[in-house]
């Protein structure tokens, strides 16, 4: 008896939903932790963080490079100044001042050589960091495109779940009938279910 009443209740609920159009479907289902799209989202998020970090490193490297250039330019100015001063001291036969100027010239010459070497190396490092950043951006773009393709495929698979079967198509035609026809159809189904229940009770 319970099965019969369950069938009646289910049939009534389904007919009511079909008549009132209360059935709806959503393509945006929650993603499980091991879902491919969830993993892609994680990789994209991590990729964006790494690119942001790389951008910060590049900016800091550029600032250091500018600082090295400034130090080199100041050293070159001081070298030129000491060279002029040495010429003046030498002309005045001030040997002590000449010796001091020579020591200063040696210091600034060595400093300029070190700064020039460091500047060349830092330019190479900056080029390498920039190439790495561009490579990371291309990989991130590829992952985002892959994510879009995977999401599209998932939507298509989800949509196929709701393709109407021949029976659903026939029921859909019935639901497009007028109110009087729908009511007659509803009554006929209930009558058949009640007959089935009576037959079951009689055989019990």
DSSP string across 63-132: HHHHHHHHHHHHHHHHHHHHHHHHHHHHHTT-HHHHHHHHHHHHHHHHHHHHHHHHHHHHHHHHHHHHHH
* CA 132 to centroid of chain Cα atoms: 18
The residue among 82 and 181 whose pLDDT is bigger is 82
Cα separation of 103 and 52, whole Å?
A: 47
pLDDT in tens, 79-108: 999 999 999 999 999 999 999 999 999 999
CA distances from 12 to 7, 93, 142, 187, 193 (A): 8, 119, 51, 10, 10
Contact present, 21 and 171 (Cβ < 8 Å): no
pLDDT in tens, 104-158: 999 999 999 999 999 999 999 999 999 999 999 999 999 888 888 877 776 676 6
Rg (CA), the chain: 42
pLDDT in tens, 1-48: 455 555 555 655 565 455 444 444 344 455 666 677 788 888 889 999
CA distances from 27 to 6, 34, 168 (A): 30, 18, 20
Q: How many helices (H) and strands (E) does the chain have?
A: 5, 0
Cα separation of 134 and 99, whole Å?
A: 53
pLDDT at residue number 171: 52
């Amino acid at each position: 008896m319970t099965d019969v009443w369950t069938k009646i209740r289910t049939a009534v609920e389904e007919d009511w939903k079909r008549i009132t159009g209360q059935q709806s479907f959503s393509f945006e289902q929650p993603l499980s932790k091991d879902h491919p799209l969830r993993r892609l989202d994680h990789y994209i998020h991590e990729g964006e963080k790494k690119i942001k970090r790389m951008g910060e490193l590049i900016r800091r490297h550029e600032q250091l490079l500018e600082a090295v250039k400034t130090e080199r330019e100041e050293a070159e100015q001081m070298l030129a100044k000491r060279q002029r001063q040495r010429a003046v001291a030498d002309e005045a036969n001030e040997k002590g001042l000449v010796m001091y100027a020579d020591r200063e010239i040696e210091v600034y010459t060595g400093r300029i050589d070190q700064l020039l070497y460091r500047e060349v190396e830092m330019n190479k490092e900056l080029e390498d960091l920039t190439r790495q950043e561009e490579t990371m951006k291309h990989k991130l773009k590829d992952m985002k495109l892959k994510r879009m393709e995977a999401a599209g495929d998932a939507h298509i698979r989800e949509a196929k779940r709701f393709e109407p079967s021949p029976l659903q198509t026939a029921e859909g035609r019935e639901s497009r009938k007028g109110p009087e026809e729908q009511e007659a159809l509803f009554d006929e189904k209930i009558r058949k279910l009640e007959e089935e229940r009576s037959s079951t009770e009689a055989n019990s």
